[in-house]
Amino acid sequence: MTIMPKLPEKTIERLSQYRRALLICLGKNKQYIFSHELAGMLHLTPVQVRRDIMLIGYSGTLRQGYEIREMIALIGKIIDSEEGLKVAVIGLGNLGRAMISYFNGKRTKLSIVAAFDINQEKVNRVYAGVPCYHIDMLSKIIRSENIPIAIMTVPGDEAAKVTESLVLAGIKGILNYTPTPVNVPANTYLQEYDMITSLEKIAYFVKQGNREEHI
Amino acid sequence: MTIMPKLPEKTIERLSQYRRALLICLGKNKQYIFSHELAGMLHLTPVQVRRDIMLIGYSGTLRQGYEIREMIALIGKIIDSEEGLKVAVIGLGNLGRAMISYFNGKRTKLSIVAAFDINQEKVNRVYAGVPCYHIDMLSKIIRSENIPIAIMTVPGDEAAKVTESLVLAGIKGILNYTPTPVNVPANTYLQEYDMITSLEKIAYFVKQGNREEHI
DNA sequence: TTAACATTGTTATTTTTTTAACAATATTTT
DNA sequence: AAAATATTGTTAAAAAAATAACAATGTTAA
């Protein structure tokens, strides 16, 4: 297998988006796509698309564009793990359930296999195919099921404690959707996403009457 | 009022985060904060914090740090609108409800004042203080209530249609949480957020055994 | 069959963002 | 009172990302 020299982080993000856009095209029985078409779908410039494609070592055909299936396959080789990775959702509130529905049937390589909550009414039930365990079982299940990734959708004031449990349980990556930033050791990958920041940013640009698109 | 020379986009994002962190500190009766403390809370470097603070024209006191109240006030002056902005949530599914709970009582300047859904069981009811209207009322309510910002939490296959309605209704900013990218005219601010991309990015770095933190 | 065109692939340039370096200085310690 | 220290504020440098420029070339049109 060819070693892929480290891709820019932004390119990784876009690869995921390219794939989704390409899958939509495939669903419409499209076979080839031009850089400007893909760019248009994702609010990017054609140059950026071509450059990313260059970076992953793929080539299209002149005047015909890129072969959609091939590109999907190649992106998969780069960003997916062969075995597939299991994901747990911590906190089965509205947001946790939203994440599960979101994923339902969408991806094969990433699958949500467990949810955790503190509420006894939710525990030991199955939500959209995903079993919900009591949060006390977190460490046990994460280890036994070998789950490397967790999505935190608990209330902000529980974020720190849950993070600690996750780290102790050996989790490798955390996506933190709570409003509270958390800390993890250096060998754990952490990504924070804050809905309020997103909205405040929009508010700022709306206030400024700014015209640009920003993804 | 001093004209603020255009701030970097990333700084705007961080200002929102600074404020939230500062509010937490304020809640703990802290009065001053050092750049390295703020940095530590948000996975940033102290230099970056100081630089941002410099850019907004604030000054701390040597060996004492920054006055928390003052800084919160200043950030508000920069990123908030004086009158406050109204926000609508389109789609009262799990994600829409999550957004509403998230905001409940948190912000004063941004307030979710309306939700829309197609489901008759949800229409004309109030969820967490927010009235839900039928989606056919979208244009009417958005105009009459003067709502400039919308959060889209509908299923992906409705995203395009809803976006069109929003634009026609004169919306100024859209936060798109559906998995489907949409298009808006140049005078509308659009921000797309894709949960799957976030997760796939984590998966990639977990796969790589990458050690860094990424916000 | 030649010219015009559309598209890719790649290098170069510019812009944006982050990081480093370090001067200035109030506070604490000796 | 002098030295050491911790911290801010700012300029400079580096790194990352986006954009532009343009050569190459197969395709279509004249």
Sequential DSSP letters for B62-124: TTTBEEHHHHHHHHHHHHS-SS-EEEEEE--SHHHHHHHHHHTTT-SSEEEEEEEES-TTTTT
The alpha-carbon gap from B136 to the nearest alpha carbon of chain A, in Å, equals 24
Number of domains comprising chain B: 2
Q: Is residue B154 part of a domain?
A: yes
Lookup: tokens for A148: 């490397």
Q: What CATH number does the domain containing B14 carry?
A: 1.10.10.10
Does residue B1 lie within 7 Å of nucleic acid chain D, judged by its CB? no
Domain-located, residue B35: yes
The per-residue pLDDT for A108 is: 79
B54 and B19 share one domain:
yes
Residues A183 and A89 reside in one and the same domain: yes
- Kindly report the CA angle at B95 between B134 and B153, in degrees rounded to 5? 55
Q: What was the pLDDT predicted at B133?
A: 98
Residues 6+ apart with CB under 8 A from A48: A14, A39
> Is residue B164 located within the same domain as residue B94?
yes
Closest-CA residue in chain A for B214?
A191
Between CA A175 and CA B18 the distance in angstroms is 20
- What local confidence, expressed as pLDDT, does residue A213 receive? 47
Task: Indicate whether B98 and B44 sit together in one domain.
Answer: no
Residue ending a domain, among A55, A77, A99, is A77
Q: Which residue is nearest to nucleotide D20 (CA to C1')?
A: A47
Q: Domain for residue B175, yes or no?
A: yes
C-alpha–C-alpha distance, residues B96 and B118, integer Å: 13
> For residue B121, what are the contacts with CB-CB under 8 A and spacing of at least 6?
none
Do residues B33 and B206 touch, judged by C-beta distance below 8 A?
A: no
**Do B92 and B192 have their domain in common?**
yes
Tell me the residue range of the domain where A42 lies: 9-77
Q: Which residue stretches of chain A have pLDDT < 50?
A: 1, 210-215
When scoring B3, B37, B86, B102 by the number of chain A Cβ atoms within 10 A, the one with the most, hence best to mutate, is B102
Claim to verify: residue A153 and residue A132 sit in the same structural domain: yes
Same domain, A17 and A102: no
Per the domain annotation, does A60 fall within a domain? yes
A197 touches chain B (CB under 8 A): yes
Q: Based on the domain organization, do B89 and B131 belong to the same domain?
A: yes
Domain of A145: which CATH number?
3.40.50.720
pLDDT at B112: 96
> CA–CA distance from B99 to each of A76, A159, A205, B119, B130 (Å)?
32, 17, 20, 18, 11
For chain B, residues with pLDDT lower than 50 are: 1, 210-215
Which of chain B's residues have a Cβ under 8 Å away from the Cβ of A102? 95, 179, 195-196
DSSP-derived letter for residue A139 is H
Same-domain pairing of A116 and A169: yes
Residue A61 lies in a domain: yes
